[in-house]
Amino acid sequence: MHKKWFGLALSILLVCGVALVGCGGNGGSGTKVKVGEVTRSIFYAPEYVAIEKGFFKEEGLDIELQTTFGGDKTMTALLSDAIDVALVGSETSIYVYQQGADDPVINFGQLTQTDGTFLVARDLDSDFNWDMLKGSIFLGQRKGGMPQMAGEFTLNKNGINPRTDLELIQNIEFANIASAFASGTGQYVQLFEPQASIFEKEGKGKVVASFGVESGHLPYTVFMTKQSYINKNKDTVQKFTNALYKAQQWVDSHSPEEIADVIIPYFKDTERDIVISSVKRYKEQGTYATDPILDEQEWNNLLDVMEQAGELKERVSTDKIVDNSFAEKAKQTGK
């Protein structure tokens, strides 16, 4: 993350406003909660299940889901009250805390517990090993974001210095990375699903490794909100977390095919077999958290990843910006 990241984003917001794209909701009555997701992704399947299976509605909540397109825009929307709850990487809450925020952003419900990206090779006729990346052109993700930090952490773990052993491209917008690779940029690329499966089906690349498996468990994507919102809306936050836990348990106990059929309205331009393949890949590597609790070990792994990337001023303990009380109650009462 660049040091002036939030200051610049907030300035832009105050001058111009943030364009938020509505992408779904309960379509019913109840306490309205405006949720901003950092991107639309099969990676977030339990979120869509919670909406489509009526788990939020059962809790008396009316979810207004918006896609806010990027960690900076999502956090800016949260800080400015354009949304009530953000679904974004935990690193963003740490960046806000590091800036000395008077109203810190609190992580209260974990959704995913591994990185969601995969290493895709353009041409590979032999068995993959990490040394193949040395001297290659690697199309990575935005500096300071979790995908890039987890990617660099994985490269270092496998004896590859991302600054000196390969040519690392990071100046392409998140939404354009896949198209850049498809048009011929890079020999390797770091992609989320379903794009990785789409490229395999189209013969444009092959998934050769999982950054989620390599980087281990961490609070990759978490529902979070401002402390002031929690103080005023404890009951709403609890109901939200209850619905999340129900969805997580449902996803854990159902097949990729069943999950795909529930979430496919959110991916109308994606073929069903690709949605199934993507969900299957995430389930097999344990990406979807089975409860909303963010544990200490995951948090420390996140700090290690950020520290190695040079994006951490100081190690922030969980008691500063993590509140597991809602998740623990949801898990207890949901049994």
Please, what are the domains in the chain?
5-114+218-333 (3.40.190.10), 117-215 (3.40.190.10)
How far apart (Å, rounded) are the C-alpha atoms in residues 77 and 234? 21
How much is the pLDDT for 26? 59
How much is the pLDDT for 7? 52
Of 84, 57, 48, the C-alpha closest to 68 is 84
Task: Write out the two tokens for 225.
Answer: 């909100």
Q: Please, are residues 294 and 222 in contact by the beta-carbon 8 Å criterion?
A: yes
Q: Which residues contact 129 (CB under 8 A, 6 or more apart)?
A: none
Q: What is the DSSP string of 128-155?
A: --GGGGTT-EEE---TTSHHHHHHHHHH
How much is the pLDDT for 201? 93
pLDDT one-digit tens code per residue, 28-85: 579 999 999 999 999 999 999 999 999 999 999 999 999 998 888 999 999 999 999 9
According to DSSP, the residues that pair with 31 across neighbouring strands are 61
How much is the pLDDT for 248? 98
Tell me which DSSP letter residue 127 carries. -
Chunk the chain into consecutive blocks of 10 residues (it has 335) and report each block's average pLDDT, rounded to whole numbers: 46 40 58 96 97 98 95 94 97 95 97 96 88 96 88 95 95 89 96 94 95 95 98 98 98 98 96 97 97 96 94 95 98 87
How much is the pLDDT for 75? 96
How far apart (Å, rounded) are the C-alpha atoms in residues 213 and 167? 23
